[in-house]
Amino acid sequence: MENSCNEDLFTATKVILYKFYTQNAFSTIYCVIFINMKVNKPILGFIIGLLLPLLGDMIVYFILFRTQMNFSEYLQIFKYDHTDASKAMSLGLLINIFPFIYYTNKRLDNTARGILSATILYFVVIVLLKYVW
């Protein structure tokens, strides 16, 4: 099979299943990541835009708060201290810049639009946490 990562999504799914049973898991994961990086769907961008800030929040914890508190105390910030939660969420939201720029440069504008809409949704939640709740 020649360069299966450039095929359409349906054919690529069959190729992934084939590779899963015939080759190692690393090539399967590689194809899954790079096939999804070429899909121009707003829902994919929205899912990426919702999940990456969670990873960003974990990165913020490991960089800024790991020496001060454990992870369960850090999660309690989101529940009780909304001002600090909005600050941590804002820092975690910065990770959405990277996929947005990637998808914009690759001219996959619908996926970039989904990332932007998820970022705007997070922004509304951050403003509500900081000033309303």
- Residue 15: its H or E element: helix 9-22
Q: Domain coordinates of the chain in residue numbers? A: 1-38, 40-131
Per-residue pLDDT at 6 exceeds 60: no
- Reported as a single tens digit per residue, the pLDDT across 106-116 is 999 999 999 99
Higher pLDDT, 49 or 77: 49
DSSP string, 48-111: HHHHHHHHHHHHHIIIIITTTS-HHHHHHHHHH-HHHHHHHHHHHHGGGHHHHHHHHHTT-HHH
Task: Give 25-65 pLDDT, tens digit per residue.
Answer: 556 556 555 666 778 889 999 999 999 999 999 999 999 88
User: d(Cα 60, Cα 66) in Å, to the nearest integer?
Assistant: 9
Q: Is 130 helix (H, G, I), strand (E, B) or coil?
A: helix
pLDDT at 64: 86
pLDDT at 10: 61
Read off the pLDDT of each residue in 95-116 and give the average, rounded to a whole number.
94
- Among residues of the chain, what percentage have pLDDT more than 90? 42
**pLDDT for residue 2:** 46
How sure is the predictor about 101, in pLDDT bands with cuts at 50, 70 and 90? Answer: very high
CB atoms within 10 A of CB 114: 25
The helix/strand/coil state of 114 is helix
